[in-house]
Structure formats: structure tokens, C-alpha cells
């Protein structure tokens, strides 16, 4: 149990295929106090993806307009496509006492950390068990051509090289175990962010 806490942001990053998107979905499905930040992207929508649920799909012109009008919390270029976090929705969630979960890469994570106080952010990096396993997962999900898989594998090494910028590192060799570890990290952060006045009021009842 924890006493009313100040909301904070949770950053989860990993190379593509390491499991961060699945883990993020598990977190928000099981914790009503956490809202997932939905990114905007200029890449084409995949058949199974839904507008406003997986991404906000926008044109390059729309993306540039959002950037020029200071409507983006962070933005980055990944595999020749633009990705960004719309600022308004995040501000709304935090104002309503919800934590916000970001499924973003190291570029976005670095920008997010610059926007909030250090104690209001917890960052987690997800590693695959090995590069061989990462490649197997990318091929197994059959979303990309072999050429794109090779490109993702090359980018994975660059992504992994930024692991030291994160508070916690989790090796995702078992999905449920990784989820439990992330859950424990979030609960510990909630305890650290407890409202000190509420604690004082509670303690006074015992004195």
C-alpha cells in the first residue's frame, strides 16, 4: 500500500523486438493509475494498428506544423520516419494524477528527462537475452522485410550503447518475470513520491 503520491513519468526503451511494446501494454492494462503516451508518427499504418490506440498517424506537413507550434514534448527520426510525443495529452494525464508511460527510444528519453525534474522520472531499458534472440524475434513477428530486419539489427547496437543513461536495466528473457520487475520499480517510485503531508497527518494519528 502507498499513500497518495505525486504523479511521475515512466520511460521504457529498448531496441526494436526486445519486447518493450508488449510490456508497456501489460503495465497499462493492469494499472489504472498509469496512462500510455500515444506517439505521433509519419510512417505508414500497419494492417493491425489502430489510429489513436497504437499511434496518431500524421503527414510530414502535419508533423512539422506540430513541431513548429511547440505541440511536441519530444521528437526523433527513426528508420527515416518521424516519431514524437504530443504534449497536450501528457499534461492532461499528469494534471489528473495519473502517471504517464512512454514507449520511446533513447533520443526521446533524453529529451523527456530534460523536461521534468529528476525525481519525477524513472527510466528503464529492456535488453534482449542476446542479439541472436533479438534477430529471431524480429524475423518471427514477420512485420518487416529481411532488409529492414538487418537495418533494425544494426540500429539495435546503437540503441543498446545508450543503456547507461537509464536508471534500471532488465534482460527480457521471460515476459512475465520482466513485467513483475517493472511493476516493482514503479511501486518503489510511488513510495518515494508519496505526499509527505499525508504521511505526517497519518503519523499524527498515532502520536
Residue 207 has pLDDT above 90, yes or no: no
Q: Are 84 and 71 in contact, with CB atoms under 8 Å apart?
A: no
From the number of C-beta atoms within 10 Å of its C-beta (0-12, 13-18, 19+), residue 205 rates as: exposed
CATH number of 11-202: 3.40.50.300
180 Cβ contact list (under 8 Å, min separation 6): none
Mean pLDDT of all residues in 58-71? 95
pLDDT tens column, 68-77 = 999 999 998 8
Return the closest-CA partner of residue 78 out of 48, 106, 114: 106
- Show me where the domains of the chain are located: 11-202
Helix axis angle, 20-30 to 175-192, nearest 10°: 60
pLDDT tens column, 152-204 = 888 888 999 999 999 999 999 999 999 999 999 999 999 888 876 677 777 77
pLDDT band at 137 (very low <50, low <70, confident <90, very high): confident
Amino acid at each position: 500500500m502507498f499513500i497518495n503520491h505525486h504523479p511521475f513519468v515512466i520511460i521504457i526503451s529498448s531496441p526494436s523486438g526486445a519486447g518493450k511494446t508488449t510490456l508497456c501494454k501489460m503495465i497499462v492494462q493492469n494499472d489504472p493509475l498509469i496512462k500510455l503516451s500515444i506517439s505521433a508518427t509519419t510512417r505508414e499504418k500497419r494492417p493491425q494498428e489502430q489510429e489513436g490506440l497504437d499511434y496518431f498517424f500524421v503527414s510530414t506537413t502535419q508533423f512539422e506544423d506540430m513541431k513548429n507550434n511547440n505541440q511536441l514534448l519530444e521528437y526523433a527520426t527513426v528508420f527515416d520516419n518521424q516519431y514524437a510525443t504530443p504534449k497536450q495529452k501528457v499534461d492532461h494525464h499528469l494534471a489528473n494524477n495519473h502517471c504517464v508511460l512512454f514507449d520511446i527510444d533513447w533520443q526521446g528519453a533524453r529529451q523527456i528527462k530534460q523536461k521534468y525534474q529528476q525525481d519525477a522520472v524513472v527510466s528503464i531499458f529492456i535488453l534482449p537475452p542476446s542479439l541472436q534472440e533479438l534477430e529471431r524475434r524480429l524475423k518471427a513477428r514477420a512485420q518487416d522485410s529481411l532488409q529492414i530486419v538487418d537495418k533494425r539489427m544494426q540500429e539495435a547496437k546503437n540503441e543498446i550503447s545508450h543503456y547507461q543513461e537509464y536508471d534500471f536495466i532488465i534482460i527480457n528473457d521471460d515476459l512475465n518475470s520482466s513485467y513483475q520487475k517493472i511493476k516493482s520499480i514503479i511501486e518503489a517510485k510511488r513510495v518515494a513520491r508519496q505526499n509527505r503531508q499525508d504521511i505526517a497527518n497519518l503519523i499524527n494519528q498515532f502520536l
